[in-house]
Structure 1
Amino acid sequence: MDDRSLLDSIRHLIGEDETADDCAAFDLLDGRILVSSTDMLHETTDFPKGMTEFEKGWMSAAVTLSDIASCGAKPVQLLVAVGLDDPSRLVPFMEGAVSCAKTFGAKVSGGDIDSHIELTVVTTGFGIVEKTHYCRRSGARAGDLVCITGTPGLAMAALEGDERYRKNLLTPIPQVKAGQKIAAAGASSMMDVSDGLSISLFDMSEASNVGFALESAKFNLPDVRAGSAREYYLYGGGDFGLLFCISRERLPALDAEYTVIGKVVGEKGVWCDGEPVEKRGYAHSW
Structure 2
Amino acid sequence: KSYLPVKDAHLRGGIDNLIEILRNMLSFGEFSEELESSSVDKAHLKLASAKAILRLSRYWENKIPPPVFQLALRTVEINYRQARKLFLSKVHQYIKDRVLDAKYACAFLLDIFASQHPEVEEDKHNLADVIQMCRQVKARQLSMQSDTNPSLPYPEYILPYLVHTLAHHPLCPIFGECRDVKAFEPLYRVLYLFLSMVVRGDDDTMPEVNNADKEKDIVPAIISILQCIKQSEDVVDPENSKKSHVISELGLLVIKRLAKSSDYQGANEPVSLPST
TM-score by length of 2: 0.29
Larger relative CO (CA 8 A, sep 6+): 1 or 2? 1
Give 1 or 2: higher strand fraction. Answer: 1
Bigger proportion of residues as helix = 2
TM-score by length of 1: 0.28
